Structure formats: structure tokens, C-alpha cells
Amino acid sequence: MSKKQTKILVCGATGKTGGATTRELLKKGFSVRALAHKVDERSDKLEKEGAEIFFGSMSDYNSMCDALQGIDRVYFVAPWTPDQLHIAITFATAVAASEVGHIVAITQWLSDPSHPAVATRESFLTDQVFDWIPNTSLTKINVGWFADNYMPPQLLAVIAQLGIFPFPLGKGNTAPISNEDIGRVAATVLASPTEHAGKTYRPTGPRLISPEEIAATFAEILGRPVKYQNIPEKMFLKALKYMGMSQHMQSQLRHYIKDYQYGSFERDAPNDVMQGITGSPAEDFETIARRYIAQSPLTNKGFGNKLAAIKGFLTLASTKPFDLDDYAIKHHQPTIQSPRFVKALTKVA
């Protein structure tokens, strides 16, 4: 079967790794159906680049069955929503009724049934469910810490204008990877699924870096001093609310910050998985950061941007964080008897 005859569905195609995977597959000459939730600039851009756009819902069984019609291979990543596990089971059930031959699924490096974060426990359950799908091979890409976690626009503005890199990372290190590199890995596996079937990969960036080194990298790019500030969790949660992050995402991310502090993302990092699969090394952090800074108008020098950053920081300081424990109770988040950070390298307090 030729590349053009091979039809690949990319779920979450307008997302970060989904978009990167779609573009890499199009570059390789494959026929790509991009699953999108709605019409917007991202779906329009993918259509112009050559993807077939399919509008549907990953939580709707009939919609997924329609999206899978005529599909040979699939890229799957669950959205960060409260119905994450429902989406995964809906997808698995629809694939079982289809002719799909291979799945590349983005899962979590932290995946474990005992993790404090509901999303991570559900990632573990998703792994098990996907293993049960009949007549379909599977490759799991176990992602750790993404480089762009450090680079939401509001945080870049504070770094560039005020010279502060505020993050509650403690003394944790990680080898952050770009969304683009995950897209390259996924596309390479989808292009040649037979040699990757049944395997689990955990691609990382090229080296472990400390919070101080991250700040130093920003300083080098911006041409100004940048200091790492290890802020308390309460201030971090204020920042997440100020940036508009959903309570569900906040309720999960607060656990991953502890994982970071305990060294969970340092395990088996760095590695050469990216090089081994794609033939090219992973992007280093400076390369990734330069790209994001170049794309952000908030990092440009000027009185207006600096004033906006100061006002934003003051607004953040007066923001009242969500009560995430109350949120978990009211939204009936599943609980377990003995939650634990199983991949931690340092003693958990």
C-alpha cells in the first residue's frame, strides 16, 4: 500500500502534539484525516496544508466510528478534561469495530494506578484498555515534561519584562522535550508501524537541566538578567487561575509539580529515543525557547509591555486561588486509599 493509499486519522489534530504529528505525516506524503472539534484558525490552517478535516467529538461513539471509516492507522491523545477515561474507552470501542491496524497513543511517563492525580490513574487504565483492543497493534509514547510548560504567554511576559522566572520546581531537574519532537516521533512510528508495534517509548530532551539553568537560558536569549524564584504552591495556583486554566487541569497539575520537585521526571532521562526513532537528535531547550520567545509579542522590549507585565503580576498577587480539594469533592473525583508518587527519586514529604 502506497503512502497516499494509507489513511491516517490524527485525533486532537488542532492540539499541540496532534498538529505537529499531522504536519509531519503530510510532509512524509501520507493521506491524513484530522479530527477537530470545531472550525477555527487551526483547522483552517491544517486544511490548507493538505489535511482532510473531520469535525466530530471524541466522546461520541457514533462520531468516532464515522471518523474511523476507511482509516488504517490512528494517532490518539486524550484531552485534559474530566471525561478523559470516557473518551479513551469510547475510542477503544470504536477502533475494535473498525479496520484500523495500528494505534500510536500518547500516554504518561507517570502512569500508575496509585498516583495522586486522577488523570494519571486514568492514563494507566487507558494503557490497559488499549492493550485489549483485538486485531490492532499499539505503540505507546510515554511523555514526561514538555518544554512549553515553562512558556505560556503570561509567564514569558514576566520573564522578559521583570527578569523573574517564578515556578515551584524546588531543586528538581528534567530533560524537557518539544511538541514538535513528539510529533516527529509519532509520525515516524505511524509511517512504519510494524517495527514499533508493541513497544513503549519515552522520548526526552538531550540533557537534564535545573531551574537555574532554565533561567540562565532565558537570560541568554533575552539579553537581560533572569532569576529563578521558587514560589510557594499557593502563589502558583494563583498564577494558574490568573492565566485562565480550568480547575480540572489545576487539580492535576498541582500533583505533577510535586513529582517535579521529587525528581520523578529525572528517571531514565535524558535518553536517545528521539535519535533512535527519527534519526535526528531532540531539540535542546534553548532552541525551543528561542522559537517561543520569537513568536510572543509580549517579550518585546517597550514601556507598554513592561507596564502590562507589572499590572498582571499585581493582579495575580491579589487573586484568590481555587479550593481544589473542594472542587475534587464536588465533582466526585475518584479517590484511592494509598496515593503515592511511585517514580520519585527523593523522599516524599
Q: How confident is the model at residue 346 (pLDDT cuts 50, 70, 90)?
A: confident
- 343 and 112 Cβ atoms separated by less than 8 Å: yes
What integer is the mean pLDDT of 44-65? 96
Distance CA 23, CA 101 (A): 21
Q: Among 59-68, 144-153, 209-218, 306-315, whose mean pLDDT is lowest? A: 306-315
- Which tens digit of pLDDT belongs to each residue from 177-231? 999 999 999 999 999 999 999 999 999 999 999 999 999 999 999 999 999 999 9
Q: From residue 290, how far is each of 218, 222, 293 by CA, in Å?
A: 8, 9, 5
C-alpha cell at 199: 513497544
Annotate 9-21 with DSSP letters as a single string: EETTTTSHHHHHH
Q: Which of 270, 265, 277 is nearest to 343 (CA)?
A: 265
The answer to whether domain 7-144+178-201 and domain 149-172+206-267+284-330 are alike in fold is: no
The CATH number corresponding to 149-172+206-267+284-330 among 3.90.25, 2.40.50, 3.30.1150, 3.90.400 equals 3.90.25
Distance CA 336, CA 252 (A): 15
**Residue with C-alpha cell 540533557?**
207
Examine the pLDDT at 344 and tell me if it is beyond 70. yes
Q: Among 4-13, 18-27, 197-206, whose mean pLDDT is lowest? A: 4-13
Q: Distance of alpha carbon 263 from its chain centroid, rounded?
A: 19
Fold for 7-144+178-201, please state it.
Rossmann fold (3.40.50)
Examine the pLDDT at 5 and tell me if it is beyond 90. no
Annotate 174-236 with DSSP letters as a single string: B--B-HHHHHHHHHHHHHSGGGGTT-EE----SS-B-HHHHHHHHHHHHTS--EEE---HHHH
Examine the pLDDT at 264 and tell me if it is beyond 80. yes
**Residue with C-alpha cell 503515592?**
340
Q: Return the pLDDT at 205.
A: 97
- Please provide the average confidence, as pLDDT, over all residues in the chain: 95
Maximum separation of any 2 CA atoms in the chain, in Å: 61
Distance CA 214, CA 234 (A): 22
Distance CA 252, CA 79 (A): 13
Examine the pLDDT at 108 and tell me if it is beyond 70. yes
Provide the 10 A C-beta neighbour count for residue 130. Answer: 20
Q: From residue 208, how far is each of 56, 72, 173, 289 by CA, in Å?
A: 39, 37, 6, 15
The partner residues of 32 in beta bridges, in order of sequence, read 8
pTM value is: 0.95
The residue extents of the domains of the chain are: 7-144+178-201, 149-172+206-267+284-330
